Amino acid sequence: MSTFRTAQAVRTTPEGLLWEPSERWVRGRKGGVTVVDSRHPVLVWEPELPVPQYAFPREEVREDLLRPAKSPPTGRHTGSRIFYDLEVGGELLENAAWTYPATDLAGHIAFEWFRRSGHGLDHWYEEEEEIFVHPRDPHKRVDALPSSRHVQVEIDGTVVADSRRPVLLFETGLPVRYYLPREDVRLDLFEATEHSTGCPYKGTAQYWSWRSGGDVPPNIVWSYPQPLPAVAAVAGLLAFFNEAVDITVDGARLERPVTPFTATLGPRSST
């Protein structure tokens, strides 16, 4: 009988980092250039960040593309002191890579992800699947379950959605999201926007804003037209930010939760 390798347990460094090895094959590219090709990546959780990042053994990184940073930042990435600029195809990306000060992570290099920070490597893959924004957390679950609950959504006293065939999305650390068929949503009360976000668990989302203005935040409704396979059940369905609308489920009004998204859901600009 085999036993699970204890090497997979999360470890803590004196600097406050959490880390564990991953068995996924991870590649990172800038344009058409593969900068990282690693079969021994390490997941790292920094104390000030809610999501993990990858660090890679130096021998699995194109170190020939790295240059000592000309203007290294301070106060970023839990005490990291060594930063690198990345030069690819004549383009210089400042502070695109760094090392952690932890002894446990000596010999490893981490990289910025373009979809998260606005600079860095722009395409990442786990095995043959492209991933976005940040690595998936192996200690986090995302489940999309069809339901027959009765869900109603109101904005400023107006019922904008009424459905008995929602898909409930359960995601560790976040409130339940209620994804509703378009036929059950008054989409005529909203207008499509150019806003778009990426999620490593769900894919790329498109958004709609409330037409009537007021204090309703913009981009209050979203949908994943082509979600990742794990949450295929939400394809094309519409969801609302629980933090900014009134949702009633089976006759019980839900409290508006406070989440990391609350601070970003300010009222729409008057300009």
- Specify the pLDDT at position 256: 94
CA distance 97 to 101: 13
DSSP string spanning 32-96?
TEEEEEESS-EEEE-TT-SS-EEEEEGGGB-GGGEEE-SS--SS-TTT---EEEEEETTEEEEEE
Output the tens digit of pLDDT for each of the chain's 271 residues: 444 444 457 888 888 899 999 999 999 999 899 999 999 999 999 987 888 999 999 999 999 999 999 988 877 787 677 999 999 988 999 999 999 988 989 999 999 997 666 678 999 999 998 888 899 999 999 999 999 999 999 999 999 999 999 999 999 989 999 999 999 999 999 999 999 988 999 999 999 999 987 889 999 999 999 999 999 999 999 999 999 999 999 999 999 998 888 877 865 543 3
SS3 content of the chain, % helix, strand, coil (to 5): 10, 40, 45
- Specify the pLDDT at position 8: 58
- Check if the beta carbon of residue 193 is closer than 8 Å to that of residue 219: yes
CA distance 237 to 234: 5
- Specify the pLDDT at position 5: 44
Q: Which domains does the chain have, with CATH numbers?
A: 6-131 (2.170.150.40), 142-264 (2.170.150.40)
- Residue whose entry in the numeric block shows the structure tokens 């960040």: 49
- Specify the pLDDT at position 4: 42
Smallest CA-to-CA distance from 45 within 54, 58, 36, 32 is with 54
- Specify the pLDDT at position 78: 75
CA distance 159 to 268: 20
CA distance 69 to 72: 5
